[in-house]
Amino acid sequence: MARTFAFLRALNVGGHTVPMARLKELFEELELGSVETFLASGNVTFDAGKAEPARLQRRIEAHLHQALGYEVHTLLRSELELVSLVQGCPFSEAEVKAATALNVILLQAPLRPEAEARLRAHSVGVDRLQAAGREVWWLCAVKQSESTFSNAVFEKATGQRATFRGFNTLQRLAAKSIPVR
């Protein structure tokens, strides 16, 4: 059965701490199969059966909100979408090696053209940004703490909530969770 990947925004930051064992329980309460967490940054894999993604996302968000007492924006990706993502880095190997960080910004929907244009204004100097469907790639030439770009800057520029993941985290998650075919 194909795996589904949930990427949770703002979990285990800003005072919202949830142990991974508790997060696993919360997903199991939704009767999702083979639930596993990965790292303590809100990555969950599970078998969703034939659940429709948008409906499943709303169920997860409602359940987490009720159980935790605050909103947890949830972004889902299918197994095929995660494979495509980890194989689709828009930057060359040399560019990635020269950079300090490579992140993927996960979105609910692709950026609208006007939001993408506003985002391009931040793709200067040490930060290179490349939109690709429901993801935006961020290549940072310096430590992220030295960059002026951040989740808050992204959300203000685009009007979309998002969650950031290091590309290496996504690669490791895919390698761990998706069988080689």
Is the pLDDT assigned to residue 52 strictly greater than 60? yes
pLDDT of residue 27: 95
For the chain, give every domain's residue range: 4-82, 88-177
What's the pLDDT tens digit per position in 124-133?
Answer: 999 999 999 9
Is the pLDDT assigned to residue 104 strictly greater than 60? yes
pLDDT of residue 37: 93
pLDDT of residue 10: 75
Of the ranges 12-26, 74-88, 113-127, which one carries the lowest mean pLDDT score?
12-26
Is the pLDDT assigned to residue 69 strictly greater than 60? yes
Mean pLDDT score of the chain: 92
pLDDT of residue 179: 66
Q: Could you tell me which residue, 12 or 117, shows the higher pLDDT?
A: 117
Q: How many CA atoms lie within 13 A of 42 on its CB side?
A: 23
Query: Six-digit token pair at 170?
Result: 């996504």
Q: How many CA atoms lie within 13 A of 113 on its CB side?
A: 0
pTM greater than the 0.75 cutoff: yes
Rg (CA), the chain: 16
pLDDT of residue 180: 57
What's the pLDDT tens digit per position in 143-164?
Answer: 999 999 999 999 999 999 999 9
Domain 88-177 has CATH 3.30.70: yes
CATH architecture under which domain 4-82 falls: 2-Layer Sandwich (3.30)
Q: What angle do CA 76, 17, 77 make, to 5 degrees?
A: 5
- Asked, colleague to colleague, whether 4-82 and 88-177 share their fold, the answer is yes
pLDDT of residue 136: 97
pLDDT of residue 181: 53
Section 49-72 average pLDDT: 93
